[in-house]
């Protein structure tokens, strides 16, 4: 997903039940990345449509090691929600992601 006028590309991954309750999971950091094994402990993939993203500058998002703010993160989450056509979802996470 391209954000910030195309200056950043956010890595997004979806898994679980596409008809399930949409859940956006945010990783900690800043500077961390999505780790499936940690998220899988809290999310039931049979009942949820899980959406994860590596925040700007983190993990598989590009460019790496770029600075971002909480406002940037909120903007990216809203853009992702709109891009996926999801009206309501649950947002959860750990550390910086919350």
pLDDT digits (tens, 9 = 90+) for 72-89: 889 999 999 999 999 999
Q: 82 CB contacts (<8 Å, ≥6 apart)?
A: none
Nearest C-alpha neighbor of 3 from the set 77, 84, 93? 77
Residue 77 has what pLDDT? 94
pLDDT digits (tens, 9 = 90+) for 1-40: 888 887 889 999 999 999 999 999 888 776 677 776 566 6
The pLDDT-based confidence of 49 (bands split at 50, 70, 90) is very high
Distance CA 88, CA 83 (A): 13
Higher pLDDT, 67 or 92: 92
Distance CA 48, CA 12 (A): 16
Neighbours of 59 (CB within 10 A): 19
pTM, rounded to two decimals: 0.85
């Amino acid at each position: 997903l391209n954000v910030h006028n195309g200056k950043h590309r956010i890595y997004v991954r979806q898994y679980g039940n596409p008809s399930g309750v949409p859940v956006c999971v945010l990783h900690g950091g800043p500077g961390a990345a999505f780790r499936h094994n940690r998220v899988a402990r809290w999310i039931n993939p049979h009942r949820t449509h899980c959406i994860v993203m590596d925040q700007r500058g983190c993990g598989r998002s590009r460019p790496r090691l770029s600075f971002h703010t909480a406002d940037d993160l909120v903007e990216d989450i809203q853009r992702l929600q709109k891009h996926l056509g999801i009206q309501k979802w649950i947002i959860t996470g750990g550390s910086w992601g919350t």
